Structure 1
Amino acid sequence: MSKVVLITGGSSGIGKSVGEYLSQKGFTVYGTSRSPERYPDSMFSLVKLDVADSDSINEAVKTVLAKSGRLDVLINNAGAGITGPIEEIPDAEIKRNFETNFFGPIRVIKAVLPQMRVQNSGLIINVTSIAGYMGLPYRGVYSASKGALELITEAFRMEIKAFNIHMTNVAPGDFATNIAAGRYHAPILENSPYKKQYADTLKLMDSHVSSGKDPQLMADAIYKVITITHPKIHYKVGEFMQKFSIALKRILPDKVYERMLMNHYKL
């Protein structure tokens, strides 16, 4: 019997690549979108789900269970980018980003856990970010939301271990997706003291995404996580230097690491 997989944010980018790959591997895949009708050519089923709406999440899970009778794997992939000087990002946008990147995944986890407990099995994969391992200039809110998801996963997995449910993080680096177009950009203000630094950093960040890795690498990594018996707590997928930067943060003095980041961003 093929495993049933639910992928939030399955209509584009990493979620779409993962869904298509798992479908080809014989999994029964359901992706989610706030507007699934916009994607009639999807290779796998799309159900309506908004991670900011608990009723929407519960209905989506009910739909999957009504069609397939079980749910084996949840991939919390839906996420949103955000850039800007923290001082100048409106509070409402900071809260909105955490709603999508942190509270949203928690809501979906809570919705699927009762079914996984009944099954006495399940796997939850939270797609975080290498940016969640460090506070990055002009990406501080994004780093914080993804870092929070990394940490809560560590606690969550210990709480659910008794039910034979596994949870893990997969942290991507920069991938060639449409995240740059969809993220919130604080405007570059003419009278802002951050104007030049932010504008230059924004160009650098966008170039990283444009030249990023193929999302198929994430599909390969997630497939491997699903097919092993005891997944690790953390996985990182991306350029060698992006992954190596996490190791450097552990061993370098804080100020040395900070200077390294500032040199990279030419600050």
Structure 2
Amino acid sequence: MSKVILVTGASSGIGKSIATFLSEKEYKVYGTSRAPKNISDFSFQLIALDVLNTKSIQKAVDVIIQKEGRLDVLVNNAGMGITGPLEDTPTNEMRAVFNTNFFGAIDVMKAVLPQMRKQKSGIIINVTSIAGYMGLPFRGVYSASKGALELITEAVSMEVKNLGIDVVNIAPGDFATNIAAGRYHTPVLEHSAYKKKYQENLDLMDAHVNEGMPPIEMAKAVCKIINASKPKLHYKVGDFMQKFSIVLKRILPDRIYEKLLMNHYKL
């Protein structure tokens, strides 16, 4: 029986690539978007879901269960980016990012878990970020939101393991997507103490995205997780140095690692 898969944030970028690839593998894929009527060119079923609205989440999950009678996989992908010096970034924008990347992901998990418990099977794949393993300058709020999702994944994994459900996370590095256009950018303020370095780092971030890996690599990795008999807890998808940076953080003294990051970001 073909697995039924829910992919949030499937209107573009990594989410769309995952949903498209899995549908080509003949899984029953439901992708989501806040406004599916505005989206064209997709090969899977696209339904409305806003991770900031619990009624919207529950309605989408109910539609899938009513149609298919089950829900085997959640790919918790919907998210947003944010950049800016902490001092210059509005706190309400920080809260918005946490509401999407952290609490939104939690609310989707809470909506699918009752059906997975009923089935005594299922897998939840939380899309985090390699940035969630370290505090990156001018991306600290994004790093924190994804790091928080990494930790909640570890906790929930233990809570539901005996119920037949696997919870894992997959952390992408830089991918060639439109994420830069969709993230909140704190303006480069004329009289900011961070003006010069922040602008330089914005340019660097955009270059990294433009030179990033193709999203299909994330789709292939997700497919392998779905088919693993015993999935791991943590997966990383990125170039060698991005993944190696996590290893370096484990083995290097804190201030030496900090110095390496500062050199990389020309701080």
TM superposition score normalised by structure 2:
0.99
Write the mapping of 1:138-157 to structure 2, written as runs, cut at 5 A: 138-157=138-157
**Which aligned segments of 4 or more residues in structure 1 are displaced greater than 4 angstroms?**
none
Residue equivalent to 1:26: 26
- CA displacement, residues 19-43 of structure 1 (integer Å, 9 cap, x when unaligned): 1110111100000000001124310
Write the mapping of 1:1-267 to structure 2, written as runs, cut at 5 A: 1-267=1-267
- CA displacement, residues 177-219 of structure 1 (integer Å, 9 cap, x when unaligned): 0000000000000000000010000100010001100000000
SS at 1:9's partner residue? Answer: coil
Instruction: Measure the CA separation in 2 of the matches of 1:84 and 1:40.
Output: 32
Deviation, structure 1 residue 262:
0.2
Instruction: Measure the CA separation in 2 of the matches of 1:118 and 1:41.
Output: 35
Instruction: Measure the CA separation in 1 of the matches of 2:147 and 2:114.
Output: 26
What is the letter of the counterpart of residue 227 of structure 2?
A: T
SS at 1:188's partner residue? Answer: coil
Instruction: Measure the CA separation in 2 of the matches of 1:189 and 1:228.
Output: 48
**CA RMSD, Structure 1 to Structure 2 (Å):** 0.5
Instruction: Measure the CA separation in 2 of the matches of 1:75 and 1:92.
Output: 27
Instruction: Measure the CA separation in 1 of the matches of 2:249 and 2:190.
Output: 34
Deviation, structure 1 residue 87:
1.0
Deviation, structure 1 residue 67:
1.4
What is the letter of the counterpart of residue 245 of structure 1?
A: S
Instruction: Measure the CA separation in 1 of the matches of 2:139 and 2:76.
Output: 21
After superposing the two structures, state which structure 1 stretch, 205-214 or 38-47, moved more: 38-47
Percentage identity across paired residues of the two chains: 65
Q: Work out the number of aligned pairs and report it.
A: 267
What is the letter of the counterpart of residue 232 of structure 1?
A: K
Instruction: Measure the CA separation in 2 of the matches of 1:39 and 1:88.
Output: 34
What is the letter of the counterpart of residue 58 of structure 2?
A: N
Instruction: Measure the CA separation in 2 of the matches of 1:183 and 1:40.
Output: 22
SS at 1:88's partner residue? Answer: coil
Instruction: Measure the CA separation in 2 of the matches of 1:216 and 1:97.
Output: 25
Instruction: Measure the CA separation in 2 of the matches of 1:227 and 1:39.
Output: 29
Instruction: Measure the CA separation in 2 of the matches of 1:242 and 1:145.
Output: 19
Q: Any gaps of 5 or more consecutive residues in structure 2?
A: none
Q: Any gaps of 5 or more consecutive residues in structure 1?
A: none
Instruction: Measure the CA separation in 2 of the matches of 1:194 and 1:22.
Output: 43
Instruction: Measure the CA separation in 1 of the matches of 2:140 and 2:76.
Output: 21
Instruction: Measure the CA separation in 1 of the matches of 2:132 and 2:151.
Output: 10
What is the letter of the counterpart of residue 23 of structure 1?
A: S
- CA displacement, residues 70-99 of structure 1 (integer Å, 9 cap, x when unaligned): 100000000100000011111110000000
